[in-house]
């Protein structure tokens, strides 16, 4: 059984850098560790909270029960066919290290997702996405421990019910599974996607004429570094809200007054708007009060300048929600998991 540490500081284990304490904390390095810890939590009636890299959570209070840090490692090529490599990764592998390994091995499909913080295990949780790619496009299946029974269950792509920043693990099965391994189906021949945002521009700036996995990842890394705050320097969890999907009438009403409104086509004739633009236009960009605020280069990112409390950041998110709804009639939804 892994060591269970009482009353443990959580600050080093998440990227907002706010202070919070776990009643108990333990690391799981294997599936057996996960099962033993979950049995222990059930026997002792402790609530179990799973954490990977802590880059998509906001602690608003101390955590009662047991925090399980998933540290299952390993990246293995487990099969191939004419067009694909099948690669299995432990949930506790750092996501960007996994991307780097894929680039060096020539396994294509995750290069646009370079530099997303966090770990492999969380990648299907919210179907991570950036620069025109979502994880579902390379997802094969995952293996997870079902907490109520301790059984191992396999989830194929359809079972995960992926959507924009969504999966079954955030909805119907919330809190019921610990993801232990994720298998990806990566391409032998790259299918480069450079049409999104500023990738093409960045490639030109870097003088790239021959596309490669390395060149695309480097362009994405450069764009990300120019826009998003590094959590090592300033506490944050990336986009705090999702980009809202609205109906055509709502879009038309806003666009009439603001023709420059950034928008993207969404399924069922709906329109996705840029939450960062809505928050920016509501006057919040660069806002600071005490140590909490809104990033000055990307209004979708709420930040901790030092000693902010999670509760202060949560309350700020409520003020922003209210303001955007009053100004534009659009209700934002938080993307970060509030604990
Ligand atoms: P955590 O924060 O540890 O956990 C997130 C949620 O998943 C929690 O509910 C947790 O309980 C659950 N969870 C974690 N691991 C497991 C597991 N093994 N089994 C079951 N449940 C689990 N996201 C994007 O999609 N695109 C981006 O471009 C992007 N950019 C970001 C930029 C910055 C600067 C930051 C700080 C964050 C960004 N994010 C982005 C958000 C974040 O990186 C992703 O959501 C990432 O997948 C979170 O991984 P994590 O291991 O840190 O998860
Ligand atoms: N914008 C503003 N002001 C701002 C911020 C953005 O006007 O303060 C405008 C931009 O000019 C642009 C539009 O809003 O026209 C979109 O901005 P950006 O390209 O920076 O992307 P985003 O929609 O804000 C999304 C994801 C990011 C992901 C990028 C790149 C969500 C919630 N966020 O951001 O994901 O990296 O696209 O694909 O979908 C995350 O999930 O944590 C995350 C960072």
The Å distance, Cα 172 to ligand 1 centre, comes to 18
Q: Which two tokens stand for residue 296?
A: 């000055």
Predicted pLDDT at 289: 98
Please say whether the beta carbons of 143 and 128 come within 8 A: no
State the pTM of this model: 0.97
Kindly indicate whether the domain formed by 5-70 is annotated with CATH number 3.30.70.100: no
**CB-neighbour burial class of residue 153 (10 A; exposed 0-12, middle 13-18, buried 19+):** middle
The Å distance, Cα 26 to ligand 1 centre, comes to 19
Domain boundaries in the chain? 5-70, 75-187, 235-338
Query: For a pocket test of ligand 2, which of 198, 300, 334 has the largest count of ligand atoms closer than 8 A to its C-beta?
Result: 300
Please say whether the beta carbons of 113 and 221 come within 8 A: no
* CATH class of the structural domain 235-338: alpha beta
Identify which of 70, 49, 176 has the alpha carbon closest to the alpha carbon of residue 123: 70
Predicted pLDDT at 47: 96
10-residue mean pLDDT profile of the chain (339 residues): values are: 96 97 98 97 96 98 98 98 98 98 98 98 97 97 96 98 97 97 98 90 93 97 96 97 97 96 94 98 98 97 97 98 98 97
**CB-neighbour burial class of residue 155 (10 A; exposed 0-12, middle 13-18, buried 19+):** buried
* CATH class of the structural domain 75-187: alpha beta
Three-state SS across 138-154? Answer: CEEEEEEEECCCCEEEE
Residue nearest to atom 24 of ligand 1 (CA): 128
Predicted pLDDT at 196: 84
Q: What number does the ligand 1 atom closest to the CA of 72 have? A: 18
242 lines ligand 2 (CB under 6 A): yes
């Amino acid at each position: 059984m892994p060591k269970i540490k009482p009353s443990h500081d959580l600050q080093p284990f998440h990227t907002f850098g706010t202070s919070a304490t776990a009643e108990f904390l333990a690391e799981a390095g294997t599936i057996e560790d996960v099962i033993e810890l979950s049995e222990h939590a059930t026997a002792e009636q402790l609530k179990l909270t799973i954490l990977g890299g802590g880059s998509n959570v906001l602690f608003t209070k101390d955590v009662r029960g047991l925090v399980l840090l998933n540290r299952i490692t390993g990246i293995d090529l487990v099969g191939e066919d004419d067009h694909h490599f099948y690669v299995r990764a432990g949930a506790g592998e750092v996501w960007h290290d996994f991307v780097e390994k894929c680039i060096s091995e020539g396994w294509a499909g995750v290069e646009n997702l370079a530099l997303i913080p966090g770990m492999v295990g969380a990648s299907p949780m919210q179907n991570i996405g950036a620069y025109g790619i979502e994880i579902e496009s390379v997802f094969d299946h995952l293996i997870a421990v079902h907490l109520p029974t301790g059984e191992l269950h396999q989830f194929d792509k359809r079972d995960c019910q992926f959507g924009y920043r969504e999966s079954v693990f955030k909805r119907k099965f919330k809190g019921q599974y610990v993801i232990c391994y994720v298998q990806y189906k990566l391409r032998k021949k790259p299918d480069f996607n450079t049409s999104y945002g500023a990738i093409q521009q960045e490639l030109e700036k870097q003088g790239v004429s021959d596309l490669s996995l390395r060149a695309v990842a480097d362009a994405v890394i450069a764009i990300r570094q120019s826009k998003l705050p590094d959590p090592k320097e300033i506490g944050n969890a990336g986009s705090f809200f999702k980009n809202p999907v609205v109906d055509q009438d709502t879009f038309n009403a806003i666009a009439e007054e603001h023709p420059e409104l950034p928008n993207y086509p969404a399924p069922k004739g709906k329109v996705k708007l840029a939450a960062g633009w809505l928050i920016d236009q509501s006057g919040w960009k660069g806002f600071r009060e005490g140590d909490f605020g809104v990033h000055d280069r990307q209004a979708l990112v709420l930040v901790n300048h030092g000693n902010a409390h999670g509760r202060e950041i949560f309350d700020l998110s409520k003020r922003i929600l209210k303001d955007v709804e009053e100004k534009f009639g659009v209700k934002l939804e938080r993307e970060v998991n509030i604990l």
